Chains A and B, each alone.
Chain A
Amino acid sequence: GAVVSQHPSWVICKSGTSVKIECRSLDFQATTMFWYRQFPKQSLMLMATSNEGSKATYEQGVEKDKFLINHASLTLSTLTVTSAHPEDSSFYICSATLGVYGYTFGSGTRLTVV
């Protein structure tokens, strides 16, 4: 089946540094990738939609300069949290649409900013 590999699974970084999260589609071409953020015991909130070869579309209230999304190829989309702060600590998860067949999700990244 269609698999999205997400790395790293967890990361701890110092406040002020940047962190890059990668999502790779292993056996299919992901033209569209969605990035979600999930706080503990809460739902998944859509942050942005990335389409291969074009700029990402951010949801209202999401800082595009803080959460840089790049979708340079059909198999790789990245989310970079720039100048991370403790309030950016969260669970980040990507998802690729399979059209009418639904969605496939990465395994998620737990980010802790100290």
Chain B
Amino acid sequence: AQKITQTQPGMFVQEKEAVTLDCTYDTSDPSYGLFWYKQPSSGEMIFLIYQGSYDQQNATEGRYSLNFQKARKSANLVISASQLGDSAMYFCAMRPSSYKLIFGSGTRLLVRP
């Protein structure tokens, strides 16, 4: 079965500190992609970062990095130097071979000033 699991319904982080959002996945596809999206209260889905299953190095995009541990089937998102504008819902998603994007349940992040 294809599944994405996010075990943290909500997280708090102090402004300027780093935070890790957890994501584990399950798939039998040899080739897949992992995404992180940010969804503010407006509802739009904002792409943050992508990791391919065959990528040797962890993906980084500015303040976002993805801690990819293939053997453990985890793809945690690390946000460095949190900003107030980072407060939002964060979704981990997986693209299996069918290309139907599967989403986790999400983590609500609140950045404290």
Contact = CB atoms under 8 A, between A and B. Distances in A.
Contacts of B99: 32, 97
Contacts, number: 44
Contacts of A91: 43
Interface string A25-36: 000000010100
Contacts of B45: 44, 93, 95, 105, 108
B50 interface: yes
Contacts of A38: 43
A32 B106 CA distance: 25
Nearest to A101: B50
Nearest to B47: A102
B50 A102 contact: yes
B43 A44 contact: no
Contacts of B68: none
Interface of B: 33, 35, 42-45, 47, 50, 91, 95, 99-106, 108
